[in-house]
Amino acid sequence: MKLISQVSEVHEFIDEYRAQKNTIGLVPTMGFLHEGHISLMQRAANENDKTIVTIFVNPLQFAEGEDLSSYPQNLDKDINECEAIGVDLLFIPSSEEMYSQPILTSVQVDQLMSTIEGASRPTHFSGVATVVAKLFNIVGPCNAYFGEKDWQQLQVISTMARDLSFRVKVLGCPTVRQSDGLALSSRNAYLTPEEREAATVISRSLQVASENVQAGETSASVIKSQIVDEMTAETLATLDYVEIVEGSSLQTIDQITEGARILIAAKVGKARLIDNVNPYFGIK
């Protein structure tokens, strides 16, 4: 595995891969890798000749007062995990390398960025889309793997790639969970054991909602208020939002249909956690 930090080095390796007609799988991450990331990396490795993983805690996607400076890191462990999976190129740029000049350009994906998570974090998705656009340009044509865990992010990136004609196929991968349902997240590291236990309320309420939908309840307002009740009963969790939307347009819906998505954000201790489900599938 090649461990590199310069954009110019990525170009050199990519040119070589392309000359050999290799297909390329890209997995952008912020590091502190867990089984969710690993599932993306494994899929990329299975489906492509060469796998590139990036680790970059992107300052653009954090607002003032968020956890940029305390975001968990364990680079040695991450490097070992990538090596064990058979990653070919691990790109770990510094902020100076990615943003050597003050960045004047940003990517906006109208309508998809300002709702749900974007209503709570107004600058977040523009930061995400801008860094992902940079990575897509640095790597060039490839298959790029993103988790459904960050459902709205996946819609933003898929739409950006389509609208701006990136030669990148954006592929969504299922959410990996712990056995009690909690979605894996680097931010779970912030939880005390008590908070970790309490955090299961998020996936539990998504699962109960899914069972109710599957039993025939299709009113979004009824399902929403059931989730609010369940979340409110857990005193260690503070619900930020629960939204029920059409899965790709992210438009709010009144009646739950097959393409629906239920999204939740909640604060548990220091961690702000997000999760989502298609209620006709439930959490798996």
Q: Please state the closest distance from residue 37 (CB atom) to ligand AMP, in A.
A: 5
What lies within 8 Å, CB to CB, of 180 at 6+ separation is 200, 203
DSSP, collapsed to helix, strand or coil, labels residue 67 as coil
Q: What values do phi and psi take at 257, rounded to 5?
A: -120, -175
Q: Please state the closest distance from residue 15 (CB atom) to ligand AMP, in A.
A: 26
Whole-angstrom Cα Rg for the chain: 19
CA proximity to 110, closest of 62, 163, 54, 181: 163
**Closest to ligand AMP by CB, 124 or 149:** 149
Question: Under a CB-based contact definition with an 8 Å cutoff, are residues 117 and 124 in contact?
Answer: yes
Question: Under a CB-based contact definition with an 8 Å cutoff, are residues 243 and 228 in contact?
Answer: no
**Closest to ligand AMP by CB, 158 or 212:** 158
Contact region for ligand AMP (CB under 6 A) — 7-15, 175-183, 189-197, 229-237?
175-183
Could you say whether residue 176 binds ligand AMP (CB under 6 A)?
yes
Which amino acid would we find at residue 89? L
Contact region for ligand AMP (CB under 6 A) — 79-87, 99-107, 183-191, 228-236?
183-191
Could you say whether residue 53 binds ligand AMP (CB under 6 A)?
no
Could you say whether residue 186 binds ligand AMP (CB under 6 A)?
yes
How many residues touch ligand AMP under the rule CB under 6 A: the total is: 17
Could you say whether residue 190 binds ligand AMP (CB under 6 A)?
no
Contacts (CB under 6 A) with ligand AMP, residues 88-147: 146-147
Strands 237-246 and 271-277: unpaired
**Cα 243 to Cα 4: distance, rounded to the nearest angstrom:** 40
What lies within 8 Å, CB to CB, of 122 at 6+ separation is 63, 114
Contacts (CB under 6 A) with ligand AMP, residues 141-160: 146-147, 149-150
Quick count: other Cβ atoms within 10 Å of Cβ 12? Answer: 12
Q: Give exposure, 227-255, as e/b (b: 16+ Cβ within 10 Å).
A: beebbeebebbebbbbbbbebeebeebee
The answer to whether residue 11 is catalytic is no
Contact region for ligand AMP (CB under 6 A) — 99-107, 181-189, 233-241, 263-271?
181-189
Q: Please state the closest distance from residue 187 (CB atom) to ligand AMP, in A.
A: 8
**Closest to ligand AMP by CB, 146 or 190:** 146
Could you say whether residue 87 binds ligand AMP (CB under 6 A)?
no
**Closest to ligand AMP by CB, 70 or 225:** 70
Could you say whether residue 185 binds ligand AMP (CB under 6 A)?
yes
Could you say whether residue 29 binds ligand AMP (CB under 6 A)?
yes
Binding site for ligand AMP (CB under 6 A): 29-30, 36-37, 39-40, 146-147, 149-150, 173, 175-176, 183-186
Active site residues: 37
